A and B are shown apart, each in its own frame.
Chain A
């Protein structure tokens, strides 16, 4: 504030306590970690759409206000390094925010429905955030696995028909493949797991990890965007972001 500037209302002793309270509250407002994650994901999705020449940055109800895909593509083409820089910066912001403001949350919904499998999920060690991700083995192939299975604007609800013990066995198998880093098997196994089962969250996490480890970076990041939108409170979200959005070594 320069010398000529008037005293701000929040510093003015004659201001009412209510006004000071309101201003203080307004100044301290900040986006939630989930909102930050979604903004990040949208920026990444814009980049991904630009890189692939596809339209449709977002399927959110307010997508009308996102910039035209062609404009985004032109922008990102001029600044390809941003694609690498952006995730790490946002990741730091999100994690700091999350650590400061978010209480620990349960990993997944439907825990009561599937105690045995959840126990497996909880015992499984997430990918270490300190370990650099493996180098992508190839940048090829659009991924057919996700298409049609996880519509980006659709949050799967639990289908009672998908709660069978066979489904539980399948998710255990997937989690074992994840733990053993057998990514091709993960992708194969997730194909036979119902996306509307109680294990949808674990399934999507496994798909995202497998895609990333197999070098399908754009698919993994668009999957992460969907995951952030569909499971904003998931305990898997922060580890996934560390894994997927961390800059390559």
Chain B
């Protein structure tokens, strides 16, 4: 394990790990602990990292496993959708912040309706912007399986957002 490897992992992946865990369903109150857990695992395992995959896929792989362990944890209470999507926008105008919070809440709600497998692929591809080949490496599944999950996840998210938008528009019309 070298200093430069650790430096790369920490400085490059900390925001992404934090973000991925958040979108994989880790609650805000547990986010710091789970982020810490990813890096403790990563640093413990680093001496055995053989470089067969990139550091990026390796770190995100740990991230998925930590998130999966978190889901199985009996201490975890039910996910509160969109509970943590507000604090970042303190510098926005109230109207803009409200819109951003709403869009984030809708996305969080959509993600919560996906299966874990679909959610992993969607978060890694659409939010963390990994390539599909990287995702296939992380998941260790056939490429076709990963594509199918992504397709299904996209369909669900788009439908959820569309129906929510329609509902909102309809309620606004009826109230006006």
Number of chain B interface residues as a range: 35 or more
Across-interface contacts of A42 in B (CB, < 8 A)? 32-33, 36
Chain B stretch 4-25: residues in CB contact (< 8 A) with chain A: 6-7, 10-11, 14-15, 18-19, 22-23
| A46 and B161 contact, Cβ closer than 8 Å, known pairs A1-B129, A103-B91 | no
Interfacial chain A residues near B85, Cβ < 8 Å? 29
Check A43/B3 contact, CB under 8 A, given A25-B103, A26-B127, A65-B30. Answer: no
Question: In the complex, how many angstroms separate the beta carbon of A46 from the nearest chain B beta carbon?
Answer: 7
Instruction: Determine the main DSSP class of B at the interface with A.
Output: helix
Any A CB within 8 A of the CB of B35: yes
A18 to B127, CA, bound (A): 15
| Cα–Cα, bound, A43→B126 (Å) | 30
- Chain B residues with Cβ below 8 Å from A6 are 132, 147, 150
Q: Does chain B have a CB within 8 A of A184? A: no
**Contact for B29 among A18, A39, A61, CB less than 8 A:** A61
Is residue A86 within 8 Å, beta carbon to beta carbon, of the partner chain?
A: yes
Q: How distant is B84 from chain A, measured CB to nearest CB, in Å?
A: 9
- Shortest CB-to-CB span from B81 to chain A, Å, is 13
Do A27 and B161 form a contact, CB below 8 Å, given A39-B36, A75-B43, A85-B6?
no
9 contacts between A and B (CB under 8 A): A2-B132, A19-B158, A27-B129, A30-B15, A42-B32, A43-B39, A46-B40, A67-B37, A86-B6
Q: Which residues of B contact A (CB under 8 A)?
A: 1, 3, 6-7, 10-11, 14-15, 18-19, 22-23, 29-37, 39-40, 43-44, 47, 70, 73, 75, 85, 87-88, 91, 99-100, 103-104, 106-107, 125-129, 131-133, 147, 150, 154, 157-158, 161-162, 165
